[in-house]
Chains A and B, each alone.
Chain A
């Protein structure tokens, strides 16, 4: 990995951290836990399309671990980890299939993030009743993922220009 790439990922990890912090200051007033815009996922989404899955994975994991230890507790960490990993796996698979638009990939990422968190909540509490939260979380995931996907598409060309280096610009022009 080139030092330029490492530096770029570091900057984006910092950006993702700041976005999750800003987001935690302004929770959406809907009374359902876990509903948020998912601004940090914007960074993961961009990296997935600009740099590839491993960069996106590394930044996502670093963001979750640092945010968990810095702003949350053990349980918020557990929550975001399950959501983050499921979301990431889903986005990579959908993108790999080559059949879905980036906005759809973002929507599925957001939806799976919520599903992962809810499954973890169900496991920790040993209670299947948490499934009542599934419909609003799915719907919110579609809306938030759509917004993030559109933002990502708007930013993609610009961020790609900053990232551009010989070994990583191949996925930039699809």
Chain B
């Protein structure tokens, strides 16, 4: 029991260090993550994602607190995110191998899990703003100012995601830029088709990738 709690504590501190590292020193942090020293760190990222799912389940269709509805909604979004993660991870792994990548599934696992941080932050802040300042926005000065801030935040998180995506392939698969572009040329259309599919199913409006 003592060993388990100290292992969990170590994993938690490693998670905190890596969260900070992905923002300020992503290159160095991703080198560590490919070694997958503490693969159970993924659980803490999972908890963050679960927090978002809880909020989304309550807010998405109006402020609903019915337990049955919330459970069904939570389950639907949860399985949607799990399946999307497995799809993206598998697709990156196999297309990377196709273009000469040397990574193993585990060396790509933690980097891709941590690349969910910008996604989760975007979804969390968007749901927070949805609650605080419900859309639609107006073209008044305040509406425009909010729009500039919101787009700046979204683009910052999008670029952060781009950096983490690049580092996943660069350090997890040990690919160079040209091969990363080739892998992306295969994966992006796949991602678009997948996103349309999940949109039609009513799972996501913006894909949780």
- Same complex origin of A and B: no
